[in-house]
Amino acid sequence: MHVALAASAEAETSFFSNIDFSSGAIAAVSGGSDSTALLILLKDYLERLAPAARLVAVTVDHALRPASAGEAVAVKALCGRLGIVHRTMVWTGEKPSTGIPAAAREARYRLLAEAARAEGIGMVLTGHTADDQTETIMMRRERNSADDGRGLAGMAPATLYDGAVWIVRPLLDARRETLRDALRQRDVRWIDDPTNTDLAYERPRVRAAIRGEGVTAATGVVAKAALRRIELGEGAAGLVGSFASQPVRGLVRLDPAFAEVSDRDAAIYALRIILASFGGVPFLPDAARTAALFDRLNSGKLRATLSRVTVDARRGGIFLHREARGLPAPAPAAQSLLWDGRRQITFGDADAGLLIAAAGPACAAKLAEQAGDAVPKSLARAALGAEPALWRGTECLGLIEDIAASGGPSATPVVAPWAHFLPSFDLKAARAMSDLLGAPEVPRSPLCDAPDDRPWSKT
């Protein structure tokens, strides 16, 4: 339901009451109507109900238009009048010649996260509205990216960026024009970015085609799709916890009963998540192809590949591991790198004589002998051979994780499909995969009503 702002205090409470502000907040303010309304409503809310909370406004200057620097100065002036700390972050360096909106979006989140870390704050609030949400799902429909229905859930109320900073969108139930009315009532002006009406870009074209009724109709679609996505993730998380194990590093074993579970949709979703995570790819594999693979799992012996993962189904279980093709080429040990989309590796001191590369067959054969008889040796060798190892010349010094355990470089498993952006819809599924991989714990959501098994509670 869209919230009217006639009763300002009630509106502010409805927007922000489910957010934990104990560590403060960054407000992303471009100077447009949505973000300006966010800033003013948020300031009023915090003054009334959380006066100790820190509030810092951040403007990202994309440096794509001559007027952008002046707009950032105008936002700073507004913040000065309101008594709010303000920072400007500038997107420097060469800009791409194509794909500007996507590149600008990535730069914006990166710079907002940098500002949050610099301030010691783990949450950024943005002014995305119901109108933005409708535009998002319309664009996803046009791109056919919602073939499994997940995309129709739209933007999540909170998204974890790079595993560290939460992007929170408290105004997703508010209409843009309603927010503008609130600003007019307070005699607050905003900046109209001309790119928002430039039909050379996709979002302005979609915006121009949508009428108010379209936004209203989309609200129900989004709510239903979001609930379905949460339920699907919860079901998948339960199946991963019940049926999946990692008997050897890099090797997943699914109990044969996984192929016969009653919730087929959740099982296919769980399989997609496992494939993407152990394949080190940022996107889940195609739903139809994964469904076809799932339907073959209980048909006897099976060997197939999908999303860079080999699937080997046999009597003793369904085994999955990274295939040997397409592994990263040997590279010098650097300060930090994301290896194969599966490991975040950090070296304290660079050593010109060390290389990072896959363990390979010979090294894996030795390691497999140490793995015992938990799984067939051939599977252990195949999985271990695709794991990152440290090399000096032609000598394999061992797997990165083993060396890290003895005080060497750090090596952290990464849940590939959610390493960059983790929507709050997918928290339980991400937690289940983190547990399976031994990845770091997913930070707690700042939303008290998030689909999270450890929600924060007000005291």
DSSP string, 173-189: TS-HHHHHHHHHHTT--
Q: Tens of pLDDT along 372-384?
A: 777 899 999 999 9
84, part of any domain: yes
Token pair listed for 133: 């949400």
217, part of any domain: no
How many domains is the chain partitioned into structurally? Answer: 1
- Structure letter (DSSP) for residue 130: H
174, part of any domain: yes
Rounded CA-CA distance 301/386 in Å is: 23
Sign of CA dihedral 42, 43, 49, 52: positive
Query: Where is 89: in which H helix or E strand?
Result: strand 85-90
* Residue in this structure with the two tokens 């999946």, named with its chain if needed: 244
Q: Tens of pLDDT along 38-65?
A: 999 999 999 999 999 999 999 999 999 9
Contact yes or no for 429/236 (Cβ under 8 A): yes
Strands, E assignment, 331-403: 331-332, 336-339, 343-346, 354-358, 388-392, 395-399
Rounded CA-CA distance 21/311 in Å is: 45
Token pair listed for 44: 């009023």
Full strand arrangement of the beta sheet holding 421-423: 85-90, 55-61, 25-28, 123-125, 165-168, 158-161, 421-423
Q: What residues does 159 pair with on adjacent strands?
A: 167, 423
The CATH number of the domain holding residue 47 is: 3.40.50.620
397, part of any domain: no
Strands, E assignment, 218-275: 244-248, 251-254
354, part of any domain: no
Range(s) of the domain holding residue 28: 8-210
Q: Give the residue from 167, 176, 168 showing the smallest Cα distance to 130.
A: 176
358, part of any domain: no
Residue 338's contacts (CB-CB under 8 Å, 6 or more residues apart) are 344, 345, 414, 419
33, part of any domain: yes
Q: What residues does 115 pair with on adjacent strands?
A: none
CA-derived radius of gyration, the chain: 24
Rounded CA-CA distance 161/170 in Å is: 16
114, part of any domain: yes
Please list the pLDDT of the chain residue by residue as tens digits (459 residues). Answer: 334 444 455 666 789 999 999 999 999 999 999 999 999 999 999 999 999 999 999 999 999 999 999 999 999 999 999 999 999 999 999 989 888 989 999 999 999 999 999 999 999 999 999 998 988 888 777 766 545 678 888 999 999 999 999 999 999 999 999 999 999 999 999 998 767 666 666 666 766 667 655 666 677 788 888 999 999 999 999 999 999 999 999 999 999 999 999 999 999 999 999 999 999 999 999 999 999 999 999 887 899 999 999 999 998 999 999 999 999 999 988 778 899 999 999 887 656 688 999 999 999 998 888 777 778 999 999 999 999 999 999 999 999 988 876 667 889 999 999 999 999 999 999 999 999 999 999 999 999 866 554 333 333
